[in-house]
A and B are shown apart, each in its own frame.
Chain A
């Protein structure tokens, strides 16, 4: 066993030694190690360029060799790339190879070495790798120049989405360096204390002016400078789309494509991509000057097949597309021309056109499109040179547009552009009778018929309608008919017809002829049929109407209504078997009441009103509130009324009214309910469901209370607009009662006053009759008749004088006496002065006991005479009358004296005269001054009318003959007591 182990070990060692020996022998025999390795750098492309040679090639022949290349960064052990490069090698040939570094070369030292092996089947020797060449060091940091911070790569051009490595070299390791891409800080990997690299993955395209990337060196907060680079990111070059070529004349091929995004960059880093056209059969190439088309000249008539390659290229990428085609299959004809129309009439025309000739026996497929009246018709036709097509079934008086395009009929490739022309067909007579309707107003003795018709559609008018003929034929008197021509575009006319049946025919006429007639019959019976109006509810889509069929044969129904606000009669014809329809039109407006009348048309074409319907397409809330009057205001109630409010002219059917009442009382009155207004305030609400009930008595109110009310109508859409409440204050309860009492009283008083005024004479005579004048008494005549002197009136001599009391007012009366010139002011009169006329003789034997006293101051005659100086004293009255005094002379003197004084000195009005009745008892005066012998009451006495007159006027002038029957002149200083 041990022997076996020793043998085995010896065998393997021998084998290993043999293998090692063989390699060494071969290597020595073929020393193919690459030599003269030189490495240079290209900063623009960030690439290392290697060149080397291989010595000692055994034969002077080309051998295929494989070179393995190792690249290290910073230090030799940090191998960053290993790869093989296989190429034929000749003896003493200098080989070149490049390697692009991801990391900018300025940021790190690179090391390169290389070894080789022969990989050629013709070489009989076994192949072994050569030894590595020595490491070749490449460093460009030394050439950076002055500065402390450098950022690389400079102005690098990359494609959008690619990965980029940037780096900075900071010569001062104490600096803190931060780098930013478009303002955002980026973080990298430190390669050595001076160098940091940043891997930017999938860089975006931001702008064609490049992207600023910068690094800032700082120590603490102190900036030591900013350095940066501009990275030019290009859009990815797109493959051209829709590449195609075609010929219009077999001389030139016109190739077009969609170039896609322009990849040009600023700073001339990259121009727009270029396009090159390459044709493989001919081997020709053309650089296109436009970015989306290129013309290729056809030089060989015999070449029919073409294989084109379109190559798009920029600095970063190359794209290509390929098409293979037969030239005859890519014929794009030139547009047809000379499009014309011949033999155009009302319904057909002939269209002609021409095409550009291509080759002999070339067949064209042409397509014709006819546009008119909103319709389009298409026709295909094959032609050789000149095209022609018969257009039929055209509409009269219609403008058409006809156009044509063509293509190669043998190998359809593409239509030409359209070539077209407009034409108009001729007119024809209108093909349909106008739609006619009427409204009839019956008046005594005649009918006013207004005919309406709708203009014919263009389809039926067949031209321009010039006028309408209206033929009115009296059916009761067939011989009489009337023709009226109404020029277009009128759509109505008014006829006044008598009480006969009339047939009216309406035709529309254009320049060619008349349309069929539309016939309508107006019966002799007036249309006074009373039909109850029914309310209907409209919808946004219109009004849905239905009606009971008319008994008997009908040829149809007509529904008419008026549009608002134009107030134009509209109508709709409905077939005889239909008893419902929907009236829908854009003219319906919310809040407008529409009245529909449904007529049945008899076989005699007489319209009979069947039903009336009214409604709103959409009811709205009332637009205004009624004007409410307050009546019968009492302390406990008032009445609200709004009789003038029209329920018909509202934007909805008035369903009733809401009466809102506000009061200080929290409780609502009976019949009222509590409600909350829009402003949040509470009030009482009363609902009136009858729209015609336009009054409300609000009772159970408190006197002297303040109430507010508001009346608003409501429809199905809501109430009327908000408005202010009207204020009412109930009156006081007593004041009304007072008014009830006072008013009749005032009335009565007024009545009495009026009666009194009217009966004043009667009252005067009844209540205070005039004092009779004795002189005027009838008894005088009787006396005169008897001639009895004793019975004369008021003869002084016949009378027993009575005492006269003269009272002079003591209050400051100033009387200057004429004789003495003594002022009365000097004498204060504190007591009234009386002058008494007393009987002087006890045994008086006079004619009678009558005392006659005539007061001149109240003399009627004096008052009548004005300044009359004579008192109508009986002329026979002797002055001895004054002899009743103790001494007539004395009395006279005294009288004269006083009289003179009075006349001369007493101004009128300054002295008052108090009259004491002759009948008056002296007891009525001052008792102390009364005479001891009271005067016997006279048996009779008589007054004359008394009238207060001023003394100046009343007294006669002071003549000696003056005889005053009873005059008392007062002298305060000389009066009797």
Chain B
């Protein structure tokens, strides 16, 4: 259901659709054409960058707790083999260059947030099925996904209003639907490990 590889090819669906992904939604968003107009439904907030920084700080503050909750809920061998099972070796994770221009950083942030958003959606779906009683984990996953959606909206507004960026090529997190349960656990753990690591860099960069 969700492709596991990046699809940088150009699409036709407006970029705003990205804002409406659902848990588990992994189908690639076609990339807007280069010459598409930058259209925003709502006016952007005056202090967008501060909001972005605040959201990144908020995510950074909760990332470790989310990671711990996750690997604890998976059972052995996850809590005692974090480096082997939950290492942040996610190969197709969008890159980020902290020394780039604000525009470049925002574009890269946008890609990362999209990637994380879809990945978190898959993880949340899997965990609700696998660990229906892990309510704390579910709550944390939902809260993180909510903040990511807000962050994505703000980044989009910033890109659109200041830099007139109408489209960004994005990649999505790996599709876990075809994987076995152990692989789902492992991929989720790796993704959250990567998320914890990346979000710290992002919070620092902005």
Query: Chain A: residues with CB nearer than 8 A to chain B?
Result: 151, 154-155, 180, 182-183, 207, 209-210, 212, 214, 216, 223, 225-230, 266-268
Pick the contact of B84: A180, A209, A216 (CB < 8 A): A216
Q: Looking at the assembled complex, report how far the CB atom of B186 sits from the nearest CB atom of chain A, in whole angstroms.
A: 8
Q: Looking at the assembled complex, report how far the CB atom of A544 sits from the nearest CB atom of chain B, in whole angstroms.
A: 66
Given contacts A183-B77, A212-B76, contact A230 B85 (CB under 8 A): no
Is B1 among interface residues, defined by CB-CB distance under 8 A?
Answer: no
Can you show 28 pairs from A to B with CB atoms below 8 A apart? A154-B181, A154-B182, A155-B181, A182-B76, A207-B75, A210-B130, A212-B75, A212-B76, A212-B77, A212-B78, A212-B182, A214-B77, A214-B182, A216-B81, A216-B84, A225-B84, A226-B77, A226-B81, A226-B85, A228-B77, A228-B186, A230-B182, A230-B185, A266-B129, A266-B130, A266-B132, A267-B130, A267-B181
Return chain B residues, CB-CB under 8 Å to A229: 180-182
Cβ < 8 Å to A, chain B residues 178-194: 180-182, 185-186
Is B204 among interface residues, defined by CB-CB distance under 8 A?
Answer: no
Contact B181 A230, beta carbon cutoff 8 Å: yes
Contact B77 A180, beta carbon cutoff 8 Å: yes
Per the bound structure, the CA–CA distance linking A155 and B81 in Å amounts to: 21
Is B131 among interface residues, defined by CB-CB distance under 8 A?
Answer: yes
Report the nearest B residue to A213, measured CB to CB.
Answer: B182
Contact B182 A209, beta carbon cutoff 8 Å: no
Q: Looking at the assembled complex, report how far the CB atom of A644 sits from the nearest CB atom of chain B, in whole angstroms.
A: 75
Per the bound structure, the CA–CA distance linking A713 and B53 in Å amounts to: 86
Contact B131 A209, beta carbon cutoff 8 Å: yes
Scoring B75, B129, B186 by chain A CB atoms within 10 A of each residue's CB, the highest score goes to B75
Per the bound structure, the CA–CA distance linking A226 and B129 in Å amounts to: 24
Given contacts A182-B76, A212-B77, A216-B84, contact A228 B130 (CB under 8 A): no
Return chain B residues, CB-CB under 8 Å to A267: 129-130, 181
Per the bound structure, the CA–CA distance linking A267 and B185 in Å amounts to: 12
Q: What string of 1s and 0s marks CB contacts (under 8 Å) between B67-93 and chain A?
A: 000000011111001001100000000
Q: What string of 1s and 0s marks CB contacts (under 8 Å) between B127-147 and chain A?
A: 001111000000000000000
Scoring B74, B78, B84, B182 by chain A CB atoms within 10 A of each residue's CB, the highest score goes to B182
Report the nearest A residue to B80, measured CB to CB.
Answer: A183
Per the bound structure, the CA–CA distance linking A183 and B80 in Å amounts to: 10
**Known pairs A214-B182, A216-B77, A268-B129 / 8 extra A-B pairs, C-beta < 8 Å:** A154-B182, A182-B76, A183-B77, A212-B74, A212-B76, A216-B84, A226-B84, A228-B182
Per the bound structure, the CA–CA distance linking A183 and B77 in Å amounts to: 7
Return chain B residues, CB-CB under 8 Å to A223: 84
Q: What string of 1s and 0s marks CB contacts (under 8 Å) between B147-187 and chain A?
A: 00000000000000000000000000000000011100110
Q: Looking at the assembled complex, report how far the CB atom of B35 sits from the nearest CB atom of chain A, in whole angstroms.
A: 40
Per the bound structure, the CA–CA distance linking A791 and B133 in Å amounts to: 156
Q: Looking at the assembled complex, report how far the CB atom of B92 sits from the nearest CB atom of chain A, in whole angstroms.
A: 15
Per the bound structure, the CA–CA distance linking A154 and B75 in Å amounts to: 17
Query: Chain B: residues with CB nearer than 8 A to chain A?
Result: 74-78, 81, 84-85, 129-132, 180-182, 185-186
Identify the 8 closest CB pairs spanning chains A and B, nearest first. A154-B180, A230-B181, A228-B182, A267-B130, A226-B84, A183-B76, A155-B180, A230-B182
Return chain B residues, CB-CB under 8 Å to A228: 77, 182, 186
Q: Looking at the assembled complex, report how far the CB atom of B48 sits from the nearest CB atom of chain A, in whole angstroms.
A: 41
Report the nearest A residue to B179, measured CB to CB.
Answer: A154
Return chain B residues, CB-CB under 8 Å to A151: 182
Report the nearest A residue to B130, measured CB to CB.
Answer: A267
Return chain B residues, CB-CB under 8 Å to A230: 180-182, 185
Return chain A residues, CB-CB under 8 Å to B180: 154-155, 229-230
Q: Looking at the assembled complex, report how far the CB atom of A211 sits from the nearest CB atom of chain B, in whole angstroms.
A: 8
Report the nearest B residue to A184, measured CB to CB.
Answer: B76
Per the bound structure, the CA–CA distance linking A114 and B44 in Å amounts to: 74
Pick the contact of A210: B132, B181, B186 (CB < 8 A): B181
Per the bound structure, the CA–CA distance linking A576 and B181 in Å amounts to: 91
Pick the contact of A227: B74, B75, B78, B182 (CB < 8 A): B182
Return chain A residues, CB-CB under 8 Å to B132: 266
Return chain A residues, CB-CB under 8 Å to B182: 151, 154, 212, 214, 227-230
Per the bound structure, the CA–CA distance linking A225 and B77 in Å amounts to: 12
Q: Looking at the assembled complex, report how far the CB atom of B88 sits from the nearest CB atom of chain A, in whole angstroms.
A: 15
Per the bound structure, the CA–CA distance linking A52 and B161 in Å amounts to: 69
Q: Looking at the assembled complex, report how far the CB atom of B82 sits from the nearest CB atom of chain A, in whole angstroms.
A: 11
Report the nearest A residue to B131, measured CB to CB.
Answer: A209
Report the nearest A residue to B76, measured CB to CB.
Answer: A183
Return chain A residues, CB-CB under 8 Å to B185: 212, 230
Per the bound structure, the CA–CA distance linking A427 and B129 in Å amounts to: 69
Return chain B residues, CB-CB under 8 Å to A266: 129-132
Q: Looking at the assembled complex, report how far the CB atom of B71 sits from the nearest CB atom of chain A, in whole angstroms.
A: 12
Pick the contact of A209: B75, B77, B81 (CB < 8 A): B75
Q: Looking at the assembled complex, report how far the CB atom of A376 sits from the nearest CB atom of chain B, in whole angstroms.
A: 47
Per the bound structure, the CA–CA distance linking A625 and B66 in Å amounts to: 72
Per the bound structure, the CA–CA distance linking A216 and B132 in Å amounts to: 28
Per the bound structure, the CA–CA distance linking A216 and B185 in Å amounts to: 16
Per the bound structure, the CA–CA distance linking A682 and B185 in Å amounts to: 78
Contact A209 B130, beta carbon cutoff 8 Å: yes
Return chain B residues, CB-CB under 8 Å to A268: 129
Q: Looking at the assembled complex, report how far the CB atom of A207 sits from the nearest CB atom of chain B, in whole angstroms.
A: 8
Report the nearest A residue to B77, measured CB to CB.
Answer: A214
Report the nearest A residue to B134, measured CB to CB.
Answer: A209
Per the bound structure, the CA–CA distance linking A151 and B183 in Å amounts to: 11
Scoring A207, A210, A212 by chain B CB atoms within 10 A of each residue's CB, the highest score goes to A212
Q: Looking at the assembled complex, report how far the CB atom of B113 sits from the nearest CB atom of chain A, in whole angstroms.
A: 29
Per the bound structure, the CA–CA distance linking A227 and B183 in Å amounts to: 8
Return chain A residues, CB-CB under 8 Å to B75: 207, 209, 212
Return chain A residues, CB-CB under 8 Å to B76: 180, 182-183, 212
Q: Looking at the assembled complex, report how far the CB atom of B70 sits from the nearest CB atom of chain A, in whole angstroms.
A: 14
Return chain B residues, CB-CB under 8 Å to A183: 76-77
Return chain A residues, CB-CB under 8 Å to B74: 212
Return chain A residues, CB-CB under 8 Å to B129: 266-268
Per the bound structure, the CA–CA distance linking A154 and B84 in Å amounts to: 20
Q: Looking at the assembled complex, report how far the CB atom of B138 sits from the nearest CB atom of chain A, in whole angstroms.
A: 14
Return chain A residues, CB-CB under 8 Å to B77: 180, 183, 212, 214, 216, 226, 228
Per the bound structure, the CA–CA distance linking A212 and B81 in Å amounts to: 13
Return chain B residues, CB-CB under 8 Å to A225: 84
Per the bound structure, the CA–CA distance linking A340 and B132 in Å amounts to: 53
Per the bound structure, the CA–CA distance linking A197 and B78 in Å amounts to: 23
Q: Looking at the assembled complex, report how far the CB atom of A884 sits from the nearest CB atom of chain B, in whole angstroms.
A: 143
Report the nearest A residue to B182, measured CB to CB.
Answer: A228
Per the bound structure, the CA–CA distance linking A182 and B80 in Å amounts to: 12
Per the bound structure, the CA–CA distance linking A28 and B132 in Å amounts to: 65
Report the nearest B residue to A266, measured CB to CB.
Answer: B130
Per the bound structure, the CA–CA distance linking A223 and B82 in Å amounts to: 12
Return chain A residues, CB-CB under 8 Å to B130: 209-210, 266-267
Return chain A residues, CB-CB under 8 Å to B186: 228
Per the bound structure, the CA–CA distance linking A674 and B203 in Å amounts to: 88
Per the bound structure, the CA–CA distance linking A210 and B130 in Å amounts to: 9
Return chain A residues, CB-CB under 8 Å to B85: 226
Per the bound structure, the CA–CA distance linking A267 and B75 in Å amounts to: 14
Per the bound structure, the CA–CA distance linking A214 and B85 in Å amounts to: 11
Report the nearest B residue to A206, measured CB to CB.
Answer: B75
Per the bound structure, the CA–CA distance linking A266 and B74 in Å amounts to: 12
Report the nearest B residue to A223, measured CB to CB.
Answer: B84
Q: Looking at the assembled complex, report how far the CB atom of A616 sits from the nearest CB atom of chain B, in whole angstroms.
A: 64
Per the bound structure, the CA–CA distance linking A230 and B85 in Å amounts to: 15
Per the bound structure, the CA–CA distance linking A266 and B131 in Å amounts to: 7
Scoring B76, B84, B181 by chain A CB atoms within 10 A of each residue's CB, the highest score goes to B181
Per the bound structure, the CA–CA distance linking A756 and B181 in Å amounts to: 130
Q: Looking at the assembled complex, report how far the CB atom of A312 sits from the nearest CB atom of chain B, in whole angstroms.
A: 23
Q: Looking at the assembled complex, report how far the CB atom of A319 sits from the nearest CB atom of chain B, in whole angstroms.
A: 26
Report the nearest B residue to A211, measured CB to CB.
Answer: B75
Per the bound structure, the CA–CA distance linking A16 and B192 in Å amounts to: 77
Per the bound structure, the CA–CA distance linking A311 and B84 in Å amounts to: 47
Q: Looking at the assembled complex, report how far the CB atom of A431 sits from the nearest CB atom of chain B, in whole angstroms.
A: 66
Q: Looking at the assembled complex, report how far the CB atom of A287 sits from the nearest CB atom of chain B, in whole angstroms.
A: 24
Per the bound structure, the CA–CA distance linking A230 and B185 in Å amounts to: 10
Report the nearest A residue to B78, measured CB to CB.
Answer: A212
